[in-house]
Structure 1
Amino acid sequence: MVLTGALIVILTLFAIAKRYETRMVLCAAGLLMAAIGGNPLGAMTAFEKTMVNSGLVTTICTVMGFSFVMKYTQCDANLVHLLAGGLEKCRIILIPGAILITWILNIALSSTAGTCAAVGAVLIPTMIRSGIHPAMAGACILTACISNPLNPGFPHAIFIANLAQIDTMEVISGYTIPLLIVSTIILITMTIQSILRKEGVNKEHIHQTTHEVNTPVLKINPIKAAIPIIPLIILVLAIPQVAILPKISIPQAMIIGTLLGFIVHRKNPQDITKEFFNGLGNAYGSIIGIIVAAGVFTYGMESIGLTTALIDLMKNSQDLAKYAASIGPAGIAIISGSGDAAALAFNGAVTPHAQVFGMTITDLGSLSTLSGTLGRAMSPVAGGTIICATLAGVNPIDIVKRTAPGLLISLIALLIMFSIH
């Protein structure tokens, strides 16, 4: 049965890479393995239990509801324009500055595709008008979108926290330094590439591209611009290491941010309410749905004996677990354009047994999660890549050629850091 399970898993990953519907593929594979293992009803029970996991559902849904309100009230757009405003005046630091600003905004906006759309629509035209090669401009925005794991509503951090039975902020603080290091590597490598390729600020590019793009104009409201980051500030001030504020949950912080969005917008409260609940529904369908499907897939692997076989194999080599956690999710993310499915499947099946491999649940889960995040930024079929390529007027492959070198170096650095952790 183990060999049959291995074949099903390989076919599952192939189907995900071919961009078949992720939830359908994971559920179908999980049910099939559970049926072969003799307990198809158990897979349905796993589906049911994950659906009502309070730690996952309440946090992820309120974060997405807050995100929808920020978009509707244009608070996120005000924040983007405020931070981007000074860059065009300082062209010498345009590339590292654009990467840094996008990196910061990706924490607040969370969604990679959303960040590429919101930030890219402003910064990519600005960079091109300043003489930066269009493909390099798009690559700078895409490669900076690896910071969303620092958002308290990041689904993988919440998932790992549930596995380890610890606070989500503790998981995030555990991988913050590795993520800062790989982000620094990316910033440096992208800057060096722009110099070696002669794709930085170049007067020859200005005349070729100025007429092709336009930056949207928005009258900046500083108060609105501050709202998207207030929940993040509240959560940081409430962690035990800081303790300036009393302990507050992520859903509570997001609801506070949503209420502030109501106040600063000062109109259409009914529409804002609809947007908040639309965000809740979207989160459940798109994010919780994948987690539920991954739960069914994980149960199927356990039923057919594949999880036990993998653990026994990895017991003999701790390095094998680390390589699987880094190379596997990154590779699937590159092929499929999604860093979620492979990382969630790995974290559900293998990460709970991390101590057997000489690692903690948080370390193994974080390695898998960050690897999937890096892999997605190297994928020519990822939503963020396509958005950046469209805004820059180039082929997605041209974007990936420029993001891949720094991200591959970062992936190696990530593996080294978690190996000596």
Structure 2
Amino acid sequence: MIWIGLAIVLVTFWLIYKNYEARLVLTLSGVLMALIGEAALGSPTTVGAAVDAFIKQLVNGGLVPVIVTVMGFGAVMTYTKCSDHLVNALVRPLTHVPAIVVPGAAIITWGLNIVLPSAAGVSAAVGVLLIPALIALKVRPVMAAAAVFLGTWGSVISPGLMFNPQIASIAYKAGEIPTADSMIVIMQEAIPAALGILIASLILAAISMLLKEGVGSVKEETETDREMANFRINPIMAIIPVIPLFLLVIASKQVGWLPTKTFSVPVCMLIGTALGMVVGLIHKQDVGETSKRFCKGAGDGFNNVVILIAAAALFAAGMKSIGLTGALVDAMKGSQSVAMIAAAVGPFLMAVVSGSGNAAALAFNEAITPHAADFGMTIVQLGAVAQIAAGIGRTMSPVAGGVIILAGIAGVNPMQVVKRTALPCVAAVIVTTIAMFTLG
């Protein structure tokens, strides 16, 4: 039974690596394991329990509203051009200090990815502005794309990322934290993740100097010089994308300036969306079209994120029914270091080869993270390491949607981009994992 389950899991990940539809693959694999488990155990409720796990995620009151409102808000910020003004406001100061241009671009993208948590979305929104800006500063196109791509894992500490509410929910059910508040998880992840991007960006800066691809590497003049100089930043529009994140921070239990229950993630995102609509009206944008963009973004969030979470839950239920989860937990109980390494290495490698670590990280968190106490760790530590490692692994994958978008903007080969992000990403996952287990 266990060997059959392990074979199914390996085939599942191989199919995801081959770019088969992840939601379908996870669902079918979960059902297959549940059917085998039901036949072996003679229990008529095994498949039903797996399906129930799927349905519960579709109506998860702590998860679904967060994801759909964050994705809707991000769509509105892109449509109203507020994200354009924020990016330009952050980039312009870099022109005065050439040495920090490459690491600064990575850190800026990382920070923006917290506000706009879709890696592909932030690649498109930021890449179309930041890559031309870097090229205007005479950075080689491939390094410009690498600098932006390196920052596309900032979403790991976003309230809208699927994993943080998931980890908070698991930790709350286990009695580890007082409420299922994703900000509690994020506050523990923030410093380790910040250390990771700092180290990664500095290594990329060193690579850019070694390869002579940083500021001043290109001698030709470009039209982007005039475009950047003529762009007029609207401070109000630049601030709006950050407002929901600011409200969430000051309403967190750790800060407590605003009532936490009132200023939830969906409420803060809707406040930001409303402000975006007001800006759109001022600039004569059709408010009906802005509303459509929010609804489309929210729908994409449910389609691309929520259903994937539900499929991962069904997959995890199938692993449990066939006995694989219990065997893995028993194996990991023997050594804390094994659990620590598995949490980081598994999702990281899966993300590298598939371009998306979501499936691996979700399955890991559903199946293994609830048992963190058996390994001498907290649920937040184990779950956070798995999801952060997945985000970083995606940032050195040549098949990730973000790198394909950025390589297209820069006119370079995606493989050349990830050659430059690989070493910084490996360093980031090591630093972040160590920091998470020692500081988290």
Kindly tell me: are residues 89 and 213 of structure 1, through their superposed partners in 2, closer, same or farther at Cα, counting changes over 3 Å? closer
Aligned to 1:32: 32
Alignment partner of 1:221 out of 234, 237, 252: 234
Aligned to 1:140: 147
Q: Which moved more, 1:73-82 or 1:217-226?
A: 217-226
> C-alpha distance in 1, partners of 2:237/2:134?
25
> C-alpha distance in 1, partners of 2:118/2:21?
19
Kindly tell me: are residues 75 and 211 of structure 1, through their superposed partners in 2, closer, same or farther at Cα, counting changes over 3 Å? closer
1:415 CA displacement: 3.1
Q: Contact conserved, 2:102 with 2:214, CA < 8 A, in 1?
A: yes
> C-alpha distance in 1, partners of 2:9/2:102?
41
> C-alpha distance in 1, partners of 2:118/2:413?
22
Where in structure 2 are the equivalents of 1:18-417 lying within 5 Å?
18-38=18-38, 39-165=46-172, 166-203=180-217, 205-207=218-220, 210=222, 218-247=231-260, 248-266=263-281, 267-417=285-435
Kindly tell me: are residues 264 and 418 of structure 1, through their superposed partners in 2, closer, same or farther at Cα, counting changes over 3 Å? closer
Uncovered stretches (5+) of structure 2, i.e. residues with no partner:
39-45, 173-179
- What TM-score, normalized to structure 2? 0.91
Q: Contact conserved, 1:129 with 1:206, CA < 8 A, in 2?
A: no
1:287 CA displacement: 0.3
Matched residue of 2:19: which SS? coil
- What TM-score, normalized to structure 1? 0.95
Aligned length: 419
Aligned to 2:9: 9
Matched residue of 1:53: which SS? coil
Kindly tell me: are residues 4 and 215 of structure 1, through their superposed partners in 2, closer, same or farther at Cα, counting changes over 3 Å? farther
> C-alpha distance in 2, partners of 1:269/1:124?
30
Q: Which moved more, 1:105-114 or 1:81-90?
A: 81-90
Uncovered stretches (5+) of structure 1, i.e. residues with no partner:
none
> C-alpha distance in 2, partners of 1:262/1:338?
32
Which amino acid in structure 2 is aligned with residue 256 of structure 1? I
Q: Which moved more, 1:346-355 or 1:42-51?
A: 42-51
Q: Contact conserved, 1:87 with 1:94, CA < 8 A, in 2?
A: yes
User: What percentage of residue pairs aligned between the two structures are identical?
Assistant: 45
> C-alpha distance in 2, partners of 1:12/1:318?
27
1:64 CA displacement: 1.1
Q: Contact conserved, 1:185 with 1:410, CA < 8 A, in 2?
A: yes
> C-alpha distance in 2, partners of 1:130/1:289?
42
Which amino acid in structure 1 is aligned with residue 146 of structure 2? A
> C-alpha distance in 1, partners of 2:99/2:256?
40
1:202 CA displacement: 2.9
Q: Contact conserved, 1:125 with 1:215, CA < 8 A, in 2?
A: no
Which amino acid in structure 2 is aligned with residue 350 of structure 1? I
Which amino acid in structure 2 is aligned with residue 395 of structure 1? N
1:114 CA displacement: 1.5
Q: Contact conserved, 2:26 with 2:311, CA < 8 A, in 1?
A: yes
Which amino acid in structure 2 is aligned with residue 210 of structure 1? T
Deviations 1:25-65 (CA, angstroms, capped at 9, x unpaired): 10000000000011322222222222111111111111111
> C-alpha distance in 1, partners of 2:352/2:226?
31
1:211 CA displacement: 6.8
